[in-house]
Amino acid sequence: MLSWTSQGKTAWEVSVILGMSEKTVNFHLGNAMRKLGVTSKHQAVLKCVAAGLL
């Protein structure tokens, strides 16, 4: 999810790519944000890039 987000994809676009609902994509993005200790998906992407995960 964060990889596609880093490419500028919206939650809706990611949902189409993965064949799941937008709500599910947002749920997983929210979990990633919580686990990374950030408040936005953009901060999550930046934290993952800084850690070399993306």
Domains of the chain: 2-50 (1.10.10.10)
Task: Work out the pLDDT band at 51, boundaries 50, 70, 90.
Answer: very high
Q: In this predicted structure, what is the pLDDT of residue 1?
A: 85
Q: In this predicted structure, what is the pLDDT of residue 22?
A: 96
Could you tell me if 29 and 41 are in contact, meaning their C-beta atoms sit under 8 angstroms apart?
A: yes
Task: Work out the pLDDT band at 30, boundaries 50, 70, 90.
Answer: very high
- In which residue are the tokens 């939650």 written? 11
Distance of CA 52 to the CA centre of its chain: 15
Residue (of 47, 13, 26, 32) closest to 4 by Cα position: 13
Q: In this predicted structure, what is the pLDDT of residue 43?
A: 95
Residue pLDDT, tens place only, 2-23: 899 999 999 999 999 999 999 9
Could you tell me if 5 and 41 are in contact, meaning their C-beta atoms sit under 8 angstroms apart?
A: yes
